[in-house]
């Protein structure tokens, strides 16, 4: 039995597959190859410069050549360490993420929550005031991630946008398939027995959405009726919106911001319960 057949038996039908082409990998590595080329050019210029022989500075010449060689090897190594062949395959009951020789198989029954973050690779710039903040949040320095955590809060895998083929489309598909998988065991009849966290301030508990707000010296919790929810917004900041007033404006019942967990699952539960009560 080959590897792919065994995976299909474990996770069911394959739904989506995406991988980096050899051309895509080469393009991603170009920026590192440019640095290797520059180091080689400097090394050639130093090696052929008569100045060092005329001034008796052969030792300095050797040191500089060694530095150029080190720089070239460093960026060549980075090109292979940071840019590797990768593939993401989504199945009915799990997914497989391969990067280089590392293969990560995750069944949806191993997942407790999925959520997105956007971080800066140069958070240290925040120490340098407003200019540092602006530098840190330039798109080139942003790292978008999909975090996959287990039921006990243990990290299973983190998919980063520069390392995951077709990150936006494939991670959206992964969230939707995971939500579909979880919904197979959730009905209006048993929802009171299920607890799911969507945010540190919002969870499904006892068949209700419980919104917990931490104020100055107290914590207040209240239930949000499903029928009072008009929409769970599709874009960040993710909000639960109430029904429009006479002016067509929607009150924000809960603002999850960019810290929502299992948002696709939340949308499906809200839709199911609204159809049941409405």
User: Using CA of residue 124, residue 136, residue 117, residue 75, what is the dihedral sign?
Assistant: negative
Residue ranges of the domains in the chain? 3-19+85-166, 23-82, 191-277
- Tell me: pLDDT of 1 over 50: no
- Among the ranges given (96-100, 157-161, 173-177, 219-223), the one the predictor scored with the smallest mean pLDDT: 219-223
The rounded distance, in Å, linking the Cα atoms of 118 and 147 is 11
Nearest-CA neighbor of 236 among 211, 199, 203, 207? Answer: 199
**Total-model pTM:** 0.78
What pLDDT sits at residue 152? 86
- Tell me: pLDDT of 32 over 70: yes
**Share above pLDDT 70 across residues of the chain, in percent, rounded to a whole number:** 88
Mean pLDDT value of segment 171-181 = 95
Tell me: the pLDDT tens digits for 248-265?
888 899 888 877 889 999
Tell me: the pLDDT tens digits for 122-139?
554 555 555 544 554 444
């Amino acid at each position: 039995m080959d590897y792919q057949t065994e995976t299909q038996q474990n996770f069911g039908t394959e739904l989506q597959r995406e991988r980096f082409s050899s051309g895509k990998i080469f393009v991603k590595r170009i920026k590192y190859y440019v640095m290797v080329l520059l180091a080689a050019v400097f090394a050639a210029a130093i090696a052929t410069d008569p100045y060092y022989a005329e001034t008796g500075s052969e030792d300095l010449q050797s040191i500089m050549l060694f530095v150029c060689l080190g720089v070239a090897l460093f960026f060549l190594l980075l090109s292979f360490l940071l840019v590797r062949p990768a593939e993401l395959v989504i199945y009915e009951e799990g997914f497989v993420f391969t990067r280089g020789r590392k293969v990560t198989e995750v069944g949806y029954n191993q997942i407790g929550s999925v959520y997105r973050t956007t971080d800066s690779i140069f958070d240290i710039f925040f120490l340098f005031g407003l200019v540092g903040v602006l530098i840190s949040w330039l798109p080139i320095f942003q790292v978008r991630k999909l975090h996959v955590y287990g039921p006990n809060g243990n990290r299973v895998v983190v998919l980063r946008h520069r390392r995951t083929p077709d990150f936006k489309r494939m991670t959206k598909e992964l969230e939707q398939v995971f939500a579909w998988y979880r919904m197979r065991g959730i009905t209006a009849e048993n929802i009171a027995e299920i607890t799911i966290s969507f945010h540190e301030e919002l969870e499904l508990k006892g068949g209700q959405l419980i919104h917990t707000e931490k104020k100055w010296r107290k914590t207040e919790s209240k239930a949000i009726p499903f029928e009072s929810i008009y929409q769970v917004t599709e874009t960040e900041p993710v909000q639960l919106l109430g029904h429009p007033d006479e002016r067509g404006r929607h009150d924000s019942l809960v603002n999850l911001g960019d810290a929502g967990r299992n948002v696709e699952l939340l949308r499906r539960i809200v839709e199911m319960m609204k159809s049941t009560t409405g």
